[in-house]
Amino acid sequence: MDLGLKDHVIVVTGGGAGIGEAITRACLAEQARVVVVTRFSENVKRFEAEMQAAKSRCEFVEAHLEDAEQCRRAVELVKECYGRIDGLVNNAGVNDRVGLGSGSPEQFTASLRLNLLHYYAMAHYALPLLKESRGSIVNISSKVALTGQGGTSAYAAAKGAQLALTREWAAELLPFGIRVNCVLPAEVMTPLYRQWVNAQADPEGALKKITASIPLGHRMTEAAEIAAMTVFLLSPTQSGHTTAQQIVVDGGYVHLDRVLT
């Protein structure tokens, strides 16, 4: 299926590792040009080296996205290099487990800056170029926006706000033909998730318990499956009449009756 993304310029925040890396790879497979805006971890450096060796059409911009000025500069750099933005994937973030009892108001605010505010900043600064291209925004949220989890107030607040912003932006941007949608992963094996599993007293036992609770196939969702939904929603040809949607890609984890597991 041709998604009509050839030569489109797609900006992916946090696109150098985990789900973001999978989204970057999926966009490149559709012959898009990708600009990854991210902090530079060891995983990101490895991925950047791989892309450079392959002469891939993928650029990496280092930015601390909690700083709105760095978001602005990243968008300006894309404008200078390509003169356009056809798609924005807001993906960067981390569950820092700032809970109601375990955190503080200061930590809560810092977490929102880390996980939420750059979604607005990137969309705000990219908006003029998205209007020109009649482009698309895809926000990556999380199951905790719908279910709650316990011990993660700030992350849940950020992810819930991303759902609200998706609907709000979809309404505001209708006159410009800009579609805005949201993808919600649940249990996806990323480097950060593996790190959390390995920190458990019985890592394999913990992982077995989690996969047993996932109805479809009793397995983790693959990052590539989140990426496939994301690039579909970016597509102007195959999802050109889809906007304001929140799509859960999780093997039925959130919505199916627990009796199934």
Q: Is the dihedral of CA 55, 57, 63, 69 positive or negative?
A: positive
Long-range contacts, stretch 217-223, CB < 8 angstroms, 24+ apart: 217/251, 218/261, 219/251, 220/187, 220/188, 220/189, 221/185, 221/186, 221/187, 221/188, 221/249, 221/250, 221/251, 222/22, 222/188, 222/189, 223/18, 223/19, 223/21, 223/22, 223/188, 223/189, 223/190
* Distance (Å, whole) CA 111 – CA 198: 23
Between CA 251 and CA 222 the distance in angstroms is: 10
Both tokens of 156, joined, read 């849940």
β-bridge mates for residue 17, sequence order: none
Q: 100: helix, coil or strand?
A: coil
Helix (H, G, I), strand (E, B) or coil at 221: strand
Identify the active-site residue in 119, 120, 125, 155: 155
82 is catalytic: no
Catalytic residues: 155
